[in-house]
């Protein structure tokens, strides 16, 4: 049998995340989500329908606060402070 790889058929609605991957009714916890790659990851998970909670050692940038209204999900952020 020939084992030639075939491209993944994503169908007519391939541009909609919900049709491919849904995290609705789930909560995603992202460490380091206050900015940069962590924030981008949080946005992607929110776009897929997940509520998003971030933990970081710095306060989140303004873009984090826009996730809730942009994607219609719940958000929370927690600041980790380490004392020696």
Q: List pLDDT tens digits, range 23-80.
A: 999 999 999 999 999 999 999 999 999 999 999 999 999 999 999 999 999 999 999 8
Under DSSP, the state recorded for 67 is H
Query: Tell me, what's the pLDDT at 25?
Result: 95
Within a domain: residue 3? no
Give the pLDDT score at 80: 86
Separation of alpha carbons 39 and 31, rounded Å: 9
Task: Print burial letters for 2-38: b (CB count within 10 Å at least 16), e (below 16).
Answer: eeeeeeeeeeeeeeeeeeeeebeeeebebebbbbeeb
pTM of the model: 0.72
State yes or no: pLDDT of 19 exceeds 80: no
- Please check whether residue 71 lies inside any domain of the structure: yes
- Indicate the number of domains in the chain: 1
Contact (Cβ atoms closer than 8 angstroms) between residue 59 and residue 32? no
- Whether 51 is covered by a domain: the verdict is yes
Q: How far apart are CA 29 and CA 82, in angstroms?
A: 19
């Amino acid at each position: 049998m020939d084992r030639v790889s075939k491209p993944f058929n994503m169908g007519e609605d391939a541009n909609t995340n919900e049709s491919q991957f849904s995290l609705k009714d789930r909560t995603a916890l992202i460490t380091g989500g206050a900015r940069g790659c962590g924030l981008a990851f949080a946005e992607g998970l929110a776009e897929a329908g997940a509520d998003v909670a971030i933990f970081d050692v710095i306060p989140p940038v303004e873009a984090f606060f826009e996730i809730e209204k942009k994607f219609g999900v719940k958000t929370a952020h927690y600041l980790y402070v380490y004392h020696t």
